[in-house]
Structure 1
């Protein structure tokens, strides 16, 4: 399958898709990654790791596909469904329209979509409280900063990434009300998820403007942020997957979004109607769906006082004592 994926762009779309899916066994689960590549070390790779964890635990087999363009979404869903794959899991906020159409055509197939909401009886929509996890890493960034300025480099300029930024900014201001924030995005098209060069240049500009910690919420583009921080002797914050290992001593922490757990759970549950959970599932701090990464690669960077402060903030968010505004509810970020 890797051979076909690698050379997908050189093949006619219909022929390539047929070749990719011909081996799908009846009732094997399937996962379709979003644009940006399976091995982006961030969002898509977290989804892949979840599928691999299921495979290692159960000994089962699954089929997968890397999208090359938006036009392939409906075709990929139909091909997998017609081959008998069940469940079919999709990672990414751009699946809503295609899934809304195809799910109705295959009522006996269970679909799970991550980061989008589709109201169909055979669809489970999994969304995350990215704003609360981002709040925690925003607090860490502000507490670590010695310049009083922290930065944010997002990928595609879309509401879900503003949700990350708004949470991050709220967390930073919760511990340092006078903190300055710099906000940039790598682009307005899906290419923004795989442009580490632009992300790196934006990060360098933020460092030049006084930032000493930059949070990357940019998929594969975020690798450019992490590299720029390592080169400059400053700090970056990773996203989705635990990226602390990429530049130990420079990656301050990573905002974890447990897409891997969502995929593993979907593979276990959604193929059986008795355990399938259609409707909306929300994963936040209480469900360990989001959080921050602390391991051997960054434990020297986060002192006990910072950890205690951030863990206290997490507890207060979960209890309702602190409310973190969700940008996607009204397209605003009050006070920022």
Structure 2
């Protein structure tokens, strides 16, 4: 059963009734849960910031299964929600079918491109941010072996892995990058036990820094790394605080800004494709009190210099999704 909740500025939540506000924006979270400490939670934080700024309310829905995608979109459109924002590439095909049926509704999708006149597509240069944290991993590694644990094995996550490997190799050309994906179905985003198992396997192969790009599965990776006294790297949201002194950094992906800006624009949201890259601060790395002792001045200077070169175009980072190849790693 699909249940839609309306979250008001007072933080109250209740089941949607026929009398619900018709101009509310809406947010649909992908599988893995709203509080995954990563991708979905970044979206939630963006919506909450909009609530705090405006006192407005919005409808939200947490996906429970793949079968709910189309029903969720249609139900929200029929309530008058506008715009409707959704997180995750997996909404792409469904939105392409649904959007033409609701021409007066604006939709925004994160991590996919849907070419419909009433859709805003937001994509990120994850490979650029991953390159920077890859450099940091290589500089922090004592063994010369680092790891990557992805969620569902899809081109988007390979894009993260490839950028990471390029950053590692830029610092240590002879470094070993161990890459594992959690699975081939959406369940791969919500399996912290499997994430921990993969992390321990990589540690047994000598990895002493592991980057997780796997939704809530990554929480298991970060926990296993902390338990084994090695460093981890978080993703999407700033995850440094989850294990202070053990998370080297987090690759920040500003999903929160994408959601906030969509809500702020309302029904007047501009459609078309938007690229959030390093130059526009759409991606980056996190530095705060929880990892400051881990990031040396030399490390920060090197990464910031590389970031400047990437922004200027002097240092190109290969995007796996352009040709399904990676110059720094094999899949």
Shift of 1:253: 0.3
Q: Verify the 8 A CA contact 2:226 2:243 in the aligned structure 1.
A: yes
CA distance in 2, matches of 1:266, 1:304: 37
Which sections of structure 2, spanning at least 5 residues, go unmatched? 6-13
What is the root-mean-square deviation in Å for CA atoms of aligned residues?
1.2
Name the residue aligned to 1:332: 325
Question: Where is the helix percentage greater, Structure 1 or Structure 2?
Answer: 1
Asked if 1:272 corresponds to 2:274, the answer is no
Name the residue aligned to 1:136: 132
Shift of 1:20: 4.5
Residue of structure 2 aligned with 1:102, choices 98, 104, 119: 98
Shift of 1:17: 5.8
Q: Secondary structure at the match of 2:267?
A: coil
Q: Verify the 8 A CA contact 2:162 2:328 in the aligned structure 1.
A: no
Name the residue aligned to 1:299: 292
Alignment of 1:1-336 (within 5 A): 13=1, 16=3, 20-22=15-17, 24-269=20-265, 271-273=266-268, 276-336=269-329
Name the residue aligned to 2:9: none
Q: 1:89-145 CA distances to partner (integer Å, 9 max, x unpaired)? A: 000010111111111000000000000110011000000000000000000000000
Q: What is the TM-score of this pair, normalised by structure 2?
A: 0.95
Name the residue aligned to 2:10: none
Aligned length: 320
CA distance in 2, matches of 1:22, 1:194: 31
Which sections of structure 1, spanning at least 5 residues, go unmatched? 1-12
Q: Secondary structure at the match of 1:32?
A: strand
Q: Verify the 8 A CA contact 2:30 2:88 in the aligned structure 1.
A: yes
Q: 1:165-199 CA distances to partner (integer Å, 9 max, x unpaired)? A: 00000000011111111000111111100100111
Shift of 1:287: 1.1
Shift of 1:25: 1.4
Q: Verify the 8 A CA contact 2:38 2:215 in the aligned structure 1.
A: yes
Shift of 1:22: 3.0
Q: What is the TM-score of this pair, normalised by structure 1?
A: 0.93
Q: Secondary structure at the match of 1:223?
A: helix
Q: Verify the 8 A CA contact 2:169 2:328 in the aligned structure 1.
A: no
